Amino acid sequence: MAKTPQFICTACNARHTKWSGRCDTCGEWNTIVEEAPLNTGPASKSVGTAGGRTIPLGDLGTQEDPPQRTISGLGELDRVLGGGLVPASATLVGGDPGIGKSTLLLQGAAAFARKGLKTIYVSGEEASAQVRMRARRLGLGDAPVKLATETNLRDILATLEAEKPDLAIIDSIQTMWADNVASSPGSVAQVRAAAHELTTFAKRRGTAVVLVGHVTKDGQIAGPRVVEHMVDTVLYFEGERGHQFRILRAVKNRFGPADEIGVFEMTGAGLSEVLNPSALFLSERGEPSPGSVVFAGIEGTRPVLVEFQALVSPSPHSQPRRTVVGWDGGRLAMILAVLEARCGIPFAGLDVYLNVAGGMKVSEPAADLAVAAALLSAREDAALPKDTVVFGEISLSGALRAVSQTENRLKEAQKLGFCTAITPSGGKAPAARGIKLTRMGDLTAFVGEVFGAG
């Protein structure tokens, strides 16, 4: 009896009983394809006989040695990878055009090659002469890296099978095309097929594969979302064109902490590491001014100090503006609502602008209190002391909640010369030395203590 055909969306992996032009789950067009059955022949007897080899979990340490990481020497890159490059791993790196992805990976390829890894850099976007010219500009002309310029996936896999490299960099996955897939390069089907073949090769041959991915206009890696599930690590290379700072952020990592960041500075000789990001983000901070507040945050395992800047001005429009750069706009609306409902401080008829200095993006709720302090400082035209850091989460009731890793935040603040910290009173009291703690129970007490009103 013939089996009913199954259809799957290559964008969100949703299953459908019949083909349609638009996926009802994610709303994407022309992403539903028929899924071929895995095996149309007789079923194998059991896993471990014909289908594969099983290994007892308790014997993993004796039968197979754990993979050894390779340290590149680029501390920020090794940090984001979780402590170094893992053999047989697949990594996806995404970022805006011109942000520096190829520069970063070329420098990383040279660093790993000098550590003894056999490295191949495959470019589908540039000629080999262009890659060599960039390598000479970066001072990497003598690096033992092999170059290849090819877009045919079959030829690339044949080359990798013959060379047996330890590290292969594919720049980029959108330019690869498989001749057994009837669609143009860069399409959803081609990207999915190429990523699957390269990831399978990495696991089968023990080669670490790094894939470069383009991003869409909303900052997500282009192509089917299932590609991010195939790979072991997903890294985003972020930064603003007007700033020299670049941030490499891990959003998925099977071998290390997620949300870890590495900070680089774009120079004429390529990307250089920033060993103290907090000092860099606060380097242009001058005398205290209304609306400026320093927040002690945590990115992955690293404490980072950044500056929140707020501007509150009368609005000439019937609908006041709420503009946010580097933070969540929905969370800003919540903070404004709590200030009005719990503290009686209205922002109706006022334009509100919020910015995170240096091009940094902050997502943790611990920044709530720093945002509220910046908004009140700008509204009341009253500056906070220059040597003060603020952090804490605000609940809808107006209470202040304690946050994690308080001591690490305070140590980083003290290292940069801050003497006072405003924190929530909940949780265990941190053993802070050399820094004065002002602990608040709710937002009303904070407003009354700092700004003299509530």
Length of the chain: 454
Q: Is 32 annotated as a binding residue?
A: no
Q: Is 101 annotated as a binding residue?
A: yes
Distance CA 113, CA 119 (A): 6
Residue 127: CB atoms within 10 A of its CB come to: 11
Q: Is 61 annotated as a binding residue?
A: no
Asked if 171 and 48 touch (Cβ cutoff 8 Å), the reply is: no
Residue 337: CB atoms within 10 A of its CB come to: 12
Residue 324 CA, distance from chain mean position? 19
Q: Which residue has the tokens 């996936």?
A: 153
Distance CA 391, CA 406 (A): 9
Distance CA 358, CA 242 (A): 9
Kindly calculate the radius of gyration of the chain based on its CA atoms and give it in whole angstroms.
Answer: 26
Q: Is 397 annotated as a binding residue?
A: no
Token reading at 307:
């500056």
Distance CA 105, CA 127 (A): 16
Query: Which residue blocks in 138-232 are alpha helix, DSSP H?
Result: 153-163, 188-205, 226-230
Going by C-alpha positions, the residue among 432, 292, 286, 442 that lies closest to residue 371 is 292
Q: Which residue has the tokens 């993979």?
A: 67
In the chain, the amino acid numbered 180 is N
In the chain, the amino acid numbered 283 is S
Q: Tell me the backbone φ, ψ of residue 202, rounded to 5 degrees.
A: -60, -40
Q: Is 96 annotated as a binding residue?
A: yes
Show Cβ contacts of residue 377 under 8 Å, excluding neighbours closer than 6 positions: 290, 291, 292, 293, 310, 383, 384, 451
Q: Is 386 annotated as a binding residue?
A: no
Q: Is 398 annotated as a binding residue?
A: no
Q: Is 95 annotated as a binding residue?
A: yes
Annotated binding site: 95-102
Task: Give the residue ranges of the annotated binding site for ATP.
Answer: 95-102
